[in-house]
Structure formats: structure tokens, C-alpha cells
Amino acid sequence: MNFLEKLRAAARQNKSWLCVGLDSELSKIPTFVRERHGTHAVFEFNRAIIEATSDLVCAYKINLAFYEMLGPVGLEILSKTRELIPQEIPVIADAKRGDIENTARAYAKALFEYYRFDAATVNPLMGFDSIAPFLEYSEKCAFLLVRTSNPGARDFQELNCAGKPLYQHIAEKARQWNTRQNVGVVVGATAPQELSLVRRIVGDEMPILVPGVGAQGGDLERAVKNSFNSRGELAIITASRSVLFASQERDFAQAARKAAQELRDAINRFRA
């Protein structure tokens, strides 16, 4: 089963296009969990979040930065967290890798073979040879950064290049490179007009990963209406902090579930 098949199956099963980001920053985890488990609080926190939300999502996204910052124990927690997620739910590595071909090949091997992620975010700024090793894994998916959700995105991504913004060129390349149906794009909910334009550029068959709702302030309704394809699918709406840290009390997992369920249901309403 390739990434798109797995994604669609999970979305049908859970009636959801919500992706929960496991951006589990140690310092933001409830105090009582940290006091009991120390650094391994990240793993115990993730376990509770996954158990509380796995029937509400189409995917999980793991931001590697919050694990790498903990050193070797963080990489152990990353691997163990990956094992916790039910096999039928796709897992995206939010790694934003991008380097010359031989280095990219090592990144792809680590993410897709060792950690067994189903997809990864990739920075395409260095051109096709820097993402080609990821695309050799036809059953996986490489999500190319196109128009990101952060305020500084416009510094470069909206620069006029040969008559149109750089992000549009990247979107066009993503469609051109999608010969194996294993390319996706990342476009932030904080840029709804750009999101709509990118959907038109890449067409109906490419998944769009949409960060920026919740803590970053992206408008959920506009994000949904501008990102889904004509069949109301293939937009992965991601939320991290607004779900993970919905409560700092002993009910944190239940609060995360409530926040995830409300988001999932709102996404479905706006899709309709």
C-alpha cells in the first residue's frame, strides 16, 4: 500500500482529514508528567496523546527537532513513538531535509528505511537532484515546501521570479516531478489565497499538507475551502500545540482528544 492509499484508507476509517503533530517539546509537557518521568516524559506524553486521538486522525506528523534536541535519548524516544502509532495510520516526518544528492540519499534512507516514516517534508531549494533520492521510494511521499506558514515565508517565497512568485514555480515543479504519484506540497493555512492557487496548480491528485491552524492563527474555514480537491479530499490539516497542550492538568489527554475531535468535526463541516 502506497502513501496515498494508506492516507485515503485512514481518512475513510476515521472520517477525518486532521493530522495531529507530535511536536512534544519537553518544557511544555505538564509538570507532573516531567517530574515523574524526566526526559522520558516525552514518550509517556506521546503515548497518552496517541491513545486518546488515534481514532480521530488521518495521519500523525512528528517534528524531528523536538527529539533531536534531547540528544541520543531523544532519538530513542522518536523511534519508540513511531512504534506506538497504529500501522494503518500514516506518519509524516517533519524533517525539512534538503541537501546534495548523496546526503539526500542518506536522509531518505534514515527516514524511510530506519524510522519507517510514510512521508517526509523536504526543502526543494537546491533543485531536483536534492529531492530525487526521496522520490525513488515510490510507496512513500515527499512533501515539498512551497509556501510555508511562518511570517518570514514572504522574504523569499514570494519574490518575483520571471514574472511570478517563487512559490508558484516550486508548485509547478512539484507537479512536473510527480511522475510516481509520490509528491506532495506544504502550504500554510496562514496564506489562504496562495493555498487556493497552489491547489489549482498541482491539480486534484496531489496531497497538500496544511500547517498553521491553531496556534499560528490560520483561518480553518478558509484553509479547508482552499485546499481540498474537487472531491473533498487530499488536504491534510495539521494541528500541534493547540491539541497537544490543550490542558496542563491531569486531564491533558482528554483535553487533547476534545480539541482534536472539535477540529475534525469542524473540518468536515467546512468540507461539506
> Is this structure's pTM higher than 0.75?
yes
The dihedral through the CA atoms of 125, 131, 135, 139 has a sign that is: negative
| The C-alpha cell that represents 172 in the structure block | 509547478
pLDDT tens-digit readout, 106-133: 999 999 999 999 999 999 999 999 999 9
pLDDT tens-digit readout, 56-66: 999 999 999 99
Instruction: Pick 213 or 53 by higher pLDDT.
Output: 53
CA distance 267 to 53: 16
pLDDT tens-digit readout, 10-29: 999 999 999 999 999 999 99
Spatial CA neighbour of 195 closest among 161, 232, 167: 167
* pLDDT averaged over every residue in the chain: 96
Q: Which residues are catalytic?
A: 96
Q: Cite the DSSP H helix spans in 162-218.
A: 166-177, 192-202
Strand 160-161 to 164-165 pairing: antiparallel
pLDDT of residue 158: 82
User: pLDDT band at 215, cuts 50/70/90?
Assistant: low
pLDDT of 216 > 80? The answer is: no
| The C-alpha cell that represents 100 in the structure block | 546534495
The CATH number fitting domain 3-271, selected from 2.30.30.240, 3.30.450.90, 3.20.20.70, 3.40.50.150: 3.20.20.70
pLDDT of residue 14: 98
Q: Is 216 left (phi over 0), alpha (psi -120 to 50) or beta?
A: alpha
H or E element at residue 11: helix 3-14
What's the one-letter identity of residue 193? Q
Measure the CA angle with vertex 255, ends 240 and 44; round to 5°: 70
End-to-end CA distance of the chain: 28
Spatial CA neighbour of 188 closest among 229, 157, 159: 157
pLDDT of 3 > 80? The answer is: yes
Q: Which residues contact 87 (CB under 8 A, 6 or more apart)?
A: none
